[in-house]
Amino acid sequence: MSISVREYTPDDIAAMRDIWNEVVLQKNAFPQIEPLGDDAADFFSSQSFCGVAEENGELLGMYILHPNNVGRCGHICNASYAVKSSARGKGAGRALVTDCISRAKSIGFRILQFNAVVASNASAIALYEKLGFERVGTVKGGFLNGSGEYEDIIIFCYYL
């Protein structure tokens, strides 16, 4: 599989919205409840950077990168990744995260922090740990999943 990651273009928005919404509607990884609609273009353009993973012209996944906070904590960024279910386990997630690390550093961020990695998201946790992210804490019961149960969330940091 030859996956490349690039900056999104307006032509990608519909596919990005569909990939994002698939994760939202699965109710087991993203905190959002409502899927993106006509607001998708504004949402993606408001980020510091959005990248898309593609293979042979097909979008497999995407990420958003933005500040995690403001002012004296503005050097810390946050990101969200979404890979469509038919492409999972094929390297798109790794490509997105590694591109994001490089992009965050080039933008001037110093730390990449994930505030809410759901504890049952074993594949994401394994990837982050393999790439050198550090677990810095756990919030017990911090995520309400689609089954109505509260799960722990893990906070990760990567020092750029």
Edge to edge, the sheet with strand 49-55 lists: 4-7, 49-55, 58-67, 76-83, 111-118, 150-159, 134-144
Q: What are phi and psi of 32, to 5 degrees?
A: -65, 145
Q: Is the pTM of this model over 0.85?
A: yes
Domains of the chain, by residue range, sit at 4-113
**CATH, range 4-113:** 3.40.630.30
From first to last of its 160 residues, the chain has per-residue pLDDT tens of 599 999 999 999 999 999 999 999 999 999 999 999 999 999 999 999 999 999 999 999 999 999 999 999 999 999 999 999 999 999 999 999 999 999 999 999 999 999 999 999 999 999 999 999 999 999 999 999 999 999 999 999 999 9
